[in-house]
Structure 1
Amino acid sequence: MSRLPPKWSSEWKRRETEIKGRLDEFSRVPVSEHFYELCFCILTPQSKARHAERVVCELKCDKFYERGFDPTPYLRNPKNYIRFHNTKSKRLLRVRAVFPKIAAKIHNSDSSVLLRRELIELIPGFGMKESSHFLRNIGVHGLAIIDRHVAKHLKQLGLIPKIPKTISKKQYLEIEKKWHSFAKKVGISLDELDLLFWSMETGEVRK
């Protein structure tokens, strides 16, 4: 039984099976899907996750990785509109160009923290949050994905004094460390807590 405060404990009881199932899905994502999971994480900031999923599905269907066409029309489509589509289209093309290096890093790494650092250096526009998000989505555990939804709950639980507008790398690592300690205390993993917080804000257990 979790040692979370009542507000979170009741939600955990209701969503535990679904959250654990979603994390299990992440751990079974095949290597062949890693590139498109990375595309998803490039598209999601400040855009709807459902739109990003649809765009990724279309890019995959049209073999974006193999062909390397301009993805801008896919991102600009009003049905699946992605904000900052011009910038993100350029990032997708840059990521495609360096993806063999990224894949090699993932294959050879035995440290999630080191791997995250290496991805930040390799991937244009990627910071701590985006790299952690991508790695979580391909089954890497223990990395905090700190966005405004999560920060709201961390503040309510007393782990941070306020919701930061921006987070330096040092602050990010400090919050991650506190979150790990809290997770150990309540008996629920950081990854599970992340999906719990996210689902409490959005009503869904999504990637």
Structure 2
Amino acid sequence: MEKKLLQKKIVQTYKQLKSQIETRLKEFRSTYKKSDLEIFKELLFCILTPQSKAEKAWQIIKDLEKENLILETPQDILEEKLKNVRFRFNKTKYIKEAQDRFVKGKRIILKEIIEQFNDEKEIRRWLINNVKGLGMKEASHFLRNIGKGENLSILDRHILRALKELEIIDEIPKTLTSKRYEDIELKMKKFADEINMSLSHLDFVLWQIQTGRIFK
């Protein structure tokens, strides 16, 4: 889409979706105030999402919860649950490692760790260094989904495509180092400021324009 047309569509779409976006972000903030289980579910969900449909990933999480398997899942059962997910063996390993790291008996310690940080970028940095399966995008996604990442951007292929069309970036990077990710995030934040929109709202608007839906 041409730059000027996309900018116009962003403004129009935002007028239509603003209240819906605010409601969704409020729901995300409330997640953090709920049980530790809800936060941990979001972490496992974001481990599953790379190159997989979000709806499918969330359904797996709901199935695991229904069978009381969120805190601990036998490997063979988890591999079966993930049979239609890309990189299922790696993701099985990452989920098992997250369960081992953050579940102590029946107690989940993830929230305790998050609360040691005051800055969302510091939390993100800790996550990508300590949780296998989470890169910058997935860690940002997780923090946004628990109401702790509204100043972070989820730079997936849809958002990057839109940023290229807006001429915010020259090309879609084949790989994203942490530094490159943060550079693009800053450019996106600058654009959001220019059109009087928060970064989290712009993220949702661009996702809606590119995919036609809002999910998680």
Question: What is the TM-score with the length of structure 2 in the denominator?
Answer: 0.87
2:139 paired with 1:131: yes
Shift of 1:146: 0.6
Percent of aligned pairs sharing the same letter: 38
Runs of at least 5 residues in structure 1 that lack an aligned partner in the other structure: none
Query: Does 1:84 pair with 2:92?
Result: no
- Match of residue 153 from structure 2: 144
The Cα of 1:101 is off from its aligned counterpart by 5.4
Q: 1:118 Cα shift?
A: 0.5
CA-atom RMSD in angstroms: 1.5
CA offset digits 1:72-108 (Å, max 9, x no partner): 11111xxxx2111111111100011112554322122
Moved more, 61-70 or 39-48: 61-70
The residue aligned with 2:204 is: 195
Paired residues of 2:41 and 2:61 also in contact (CA < 8 A) = yes
User: For 1:201 and 1:94, how far apart are their aligned partners in 2?
Assistant: 34
1:66, distance to aligned residue in structure 2 (A): 3.5
Contact 1:26 1:137 in 2 (8 A): yes
1:37-93 superposed Cα distances (whole Å, 9 cap, x missing partner): 0111011111111111110001111222333322111111xxxx2111111111100
Aligned residue number for residue 16 of structure 1: 18
* Separation in structure 1 between the aligned mates of residue 9 and residue 66 of structure 2, nearest angstrom: 42
Gaps of 5+ in 2: 1-5, 103-107
Question: How many residues are aligned here?
Answer: 200
1:7 equivalenced with 2:9 (yes/no): yes
Partner of 2:127: 119
TM-score normalized with structure 1 length: 0.91
CA contact (8 A) 1:18 1:205 kept: no
Say yes or no: does 1:46 pair with 2:48: no
1:96-111 matches, within 5 Å, as 96-99=99-102, 100=108, 102-111=110-119
1:126-172 per-position Cα deviation (integer Å, ceiling 9, x unaligned): 11111101000000121111111000111122211111111111111
